[in-house]
Amino acid sequence: MKEERDLSLVEALDHLLDRGVVIAGEAVISVGGVDLLYLGLNVVLANVDALTRLDAHRPPRREIAESGQEGE
């Protein structure tokens, strides 16, 4: 059932973000014909594992604070 719900969500998002009539002049989320919003979400959704690996290599919060840089 969870797999069906996940697939339904993916389908709903695909239809929302990659379908439909483009209103002329709307360039808020596309550059050079590439839909940045969709691409951005696709990159995030497709690379969660990469983000997880990157997150594992970030220095601990305490060290960031000690260095004087703004923490999260």
Partner 1 sequence: MTELRHVLLGAHLRPEDAALEGVVPLAAGPLVLSTITTEANRSLASREVVAAAARLRQELAAREIFVGIRYGATARDSEEAARKCAPHVQRWRSLLEQWRGHAELTLKAGGAALLRRPDRKEFASGAEYLRALQSLRRAGSVDPAFLDEAESRLRPIAAKMTRRAREDGGSEIALLVRREHLDLARQAAEELRRAHGAVPFLLSGPWPLEVFADEP
Residues that bind partner 1 (CB under 8 A): 7-17, 19-26, 28-30, 35, 37, 40-41, 46, 49-50
Comparing CB distances to partner 1, the nearer of 14 and 63 is: 14
CA 13, CA 23: separation in Å to the nearest integer?
19
Nearer to partner 1, 49 or 70 (CB): 49
CA within 13 Å, CB half, 41: 11
Q: What are phi and psi of 31, to 5 degrees?
A: -135, 130
The answer to whether 69 and 61 have CB atoms below 8 angstroms apart is no
- Closer CB to partner 1, residue 25 or residue 32? 25
Q: State the nearest-atom distance from the C-beta of 9 to partner 1, in Å.
A: 8
